[in-house]
Structure 1
């Protein structure tokens, strides 16, 4: 489309003010560069196309594309090009144009720019067809029409309906996959690093889809919130999409765990959707959260309710697949572990490993599926307990740390909720324990983390070790005590390495 950029072709459709305003908004709100379905060829003016490419490149490499930063970075890279396309004065003009509008207008402006670009392509196509029809031979007609159809298809799909998930790198999923990393041995298996048991073993895989299913009051929400508090305490962000409860219940539980109000306000992004996601404002809002805060965990609470809200049938496998692509997969593609909370089927004897609805809910997962079975009821002032079993582990990194159980499942953990009243509770995800076989689960992951912290920082008191190591306080202290008992760490305070702790020989 570069050939279509002619400043003196006044008949060509364009809106140069929309282009200036949009570029200015991207200077002020860099997140727009991740969300807008635009490429440089959509811009009419060559200098606007050039500025778009520079902003995208800078943002991709982590440089905040604010006015002064952008100017300095571009000047250092290619001062001649920078001056050719307007320099500091035009950069200032773009910035001022952005101040005249708000980031919420960016989607509308992008649509205007894309549609003008599509119209220019149609006009150019018409001109070429006219010229070929006048000058070409009769036998050339079939090829001419085929070429025209190819251009129209590209314009229709590429200009008017650009992929919002990857505006700068359109999906090419029908091309061969690059196998280099697998063949040369550099590929690494995904590890469950989101959420954790008390021994430091993870619960969920980043960028993968998971389910947690149970009967009512089986503890699935508690299980998800345990991972949520782990991620928030580690400084990460969490998205919670709630289709069946409310913010008072979810936030109240996190407060009961002792999670500080400021951390919840800053790092928990609670959504209570009541409208279908669609492709407009609601999708923009969700993408803004994912791109701005890069959460490590996203919880979808109430899958049946979410599907019904989107006019999809939970019992229909085709609808289950449609919903999976629309929401869980779309979120997982942005990096977080996606955890869907669902109900088991009513028939206890025939439920097997499946949630209520189509079997595709389990078959399509690329992460793990857990089933929670309540052993001791939860309640105020009592200690409740549910068994956490693995129904599916696609990457295969969880079962090695579990015990075999009935029905082809594996016992991975116990969810233990000790209530001390209405406003305080202790929640732990404990490793399985088999007294008959003498199986002992030592917190080897946390032991390695404690040893690494002491190696890096030198002698530390217990409170500093707890601060330095990711994990629940009580579990980190247990890991420290195991290291002391095994002779790897000194008993005196501050603690220091006595003998190097051997790194684990297996994936964590």
Structure 2
């Protein structure tokens, strides 16, 4: 078998030095051993093809960078920033601006991401709605993205909190309620936060877990961190880029022992937060016809303005920022939700004693004991009261002792066992009042 190589006519003819040669002039010259030169030509053409592919990659990268720049006001975000305003002190410090505590301390950082996490019925949404009302009353704009409920509940609560309907109407250019049923398109978030007179000052995302599921993300699985990062990039970052503050409501893990300061899912939520993370813990559940209280804690404050206005907590990374008090006792007065500043432990004890109230640490147990005795038709033993009141047994017994000492619970002995019942309210003697009324008439 011949080892001679036939060189195709479409290839340039090269000599032994790799130089182009004249076209063959005779049939004999067409069959020559040129294997080495042929391989070199093929290698050169491979280089050309790779160069073309590389050029295509560069063009694609430049196109992507141009598109990204257009989304960020025409600038390439990978270019170095001008930090002269930071160095010369002309840039405004990062401080909280939106919403406020009862003593006037603002709650949210403008242009930063925030989260509020807690158990069901702890007051997460009420906390968000309280801030929404405050922001709207200042004349600012709010976009409310609801992944969990519907307009009847959310808008109804805003009206219950005293907000006038005019602020919520579309033509007010102040408020937008969105109830998505699918993942957002490329420009949906930008459209949702863009009003006729500017962009939203606050964007609330109510229900992180449900919102992530809408995007097809599993935040509790093995790829939880990637899922959280994608949610943040898709839903939160466009609002932050526009200068809005974001507030996300979230659930906590079921076990309080393993909860620490994290919400449900990956620690990546906390790590990527640019504003503050709040944790809400219910002390007394409230609802229609009832008054309740939840404690608000700071578990992350990247810019440190909120921790400065908080009281230290024994738990690492926890600071007590305030007490959220909801009152719906009087239907005619509507609903009030107020975030009060935290009192120091000593101030709380002194105030409670002066008002004839129990130690604040004992107060929740006192309320539970009273509820137990109110619901019982018969006197109960101390142990039975403690079991029904729940919580730490000794705390419930201490609360019972306090009520007995204050005369609000009557203790009777039957055999070797003491039983307890609420002391009846004293009845005033009003027998003479009708006679007095007749004389006055």
CA distance in 2, matches of 1:335, 1:284: 12
Partner of 1:31: none
Q: Deviations over 1:74-120 (max 9, x none)?
A: xxxxxxxxxxxxxxxxxxxxxxxxxxxxxxxxxxxxxxxxxxxxxxx
Partner of 1:407: 315
Whose Rg is larger? 2
Matched, 1:276 2:183: yes
Kept after mapping to 2: 8 A contact 1:231/1:238: yes
Kept after mapping to 2: 8 A contact 1:240/1:270: yes
Partner of 2:430: none
Matched, 1:392 2:300: yes
Deviation at residue 333 of structure 1 after TM alignment = 1.2
Report the count of equivalent residues.
Answer: 300
CA distance in 2, matches of 1:159, 1:350: 43
Matched, 1:226 2:130: yes
Kept after mapping to 2: 8 A contact 1:380/1:422: no
Structure 2 residue corresponding to 1:208, chosen from 112, 117, 142: 112
Deviation at residue 155 of structure 1 after TM alignment = 5.3
Q: Deviations over 1:148-169 (max 9, x none)?
A: 8446633565279823862641
Q: Deviations over 1:48-99 (max 9, x none)?
A: xxxxxxxxxxxxxxxxxxxxxxxxxxxxxxxxxxxxxxxxxxxxxxxxxxxx
Kept after mapping to 2: 8 A contact 1:417/1:426: yes
CA distance in 1, matches of 2:66, 2:83: 30
Partner of 1:430: 340
Structure 2 residue corresponding to 1:297, chosen from 187, 197, 202: 202
Higher helix proportion (structure 1 or 2): 1
Report SS of the residue matched to 2:168.
helix
Say what the alpha-carbon RMSD is for the aligned residues: 2.9
CA distance in 2, matches of 1:387, 1:232: 24
The 3 A distance-change label for structure 1 pair 310 and 159 is: closer
Q: Deviations over 1:395-416 (max 9, x none)?
A: 1111111100131211111111
The 3 A distance-change label for structure 1 pair 413 and 178 is: same
Gaps of 5+ in 1: 1-138, 441-508
Q: Deviations over 1:412-440 (max 9, x none)?
A: 11111111228811111111112515899
Partner of 1:362: 270
CA distance in 2, matches of 1:311, 1:360: 18
CA distance in 1, matches of 2:228, 2:98: 25
Kept after mapping to 1: 8 A contact 2:299/2:319: yes
What TM-score comes out, normalization by structure 2 length?
0.62
CA distance in 2, matches of 1:256, 1:382: 15
CA distance in 2, matches of 1:165, 1:294: 17
Kept after mapping to 2: 8 A contact 1:290/1:334: no
The 3 A distance-change label for structure 1 pair 157 and 422 is: farther
CA distance in 1, matches of 2:83, 2:250: 36
Kept after mapping to 1: 8 A contact 2:190/2:238: no
Partner of 1:158: 63
Partner of 1:318: 226
Counterparts in 2 of 1:457-476, with a 5 A limit? none
Gaps of 5+ in 2: 1-43, 351-441
Structure 2 residue corresponding to 1:172, chosen from 77, 87, 91: 77
CA distance in 2, matches of 1:291, 1:150: 43
Higher strand proportion (structure 1 or 2): 2
Q: Is the deviation greater in 401-410 or in 158-167?
A: 158-167
CA distance in 2, matches of 1:195, 1:156: 42
The 3 A distance-change label for structure 1 pair 211 and 431 is: same
Kept after mapping to 2: 8 A contact 1:416/1:428: yes
Deviation at residue 145 of structure 1 after TM alignment = 7.3
CA distance in 2, matches of 1:195, 1:261: 20
Kept after mapping to 1: 8 A contact 2:118/2:281: yes
The 3 A distance-change label for structure 1 pair 188 and 168 is: closer
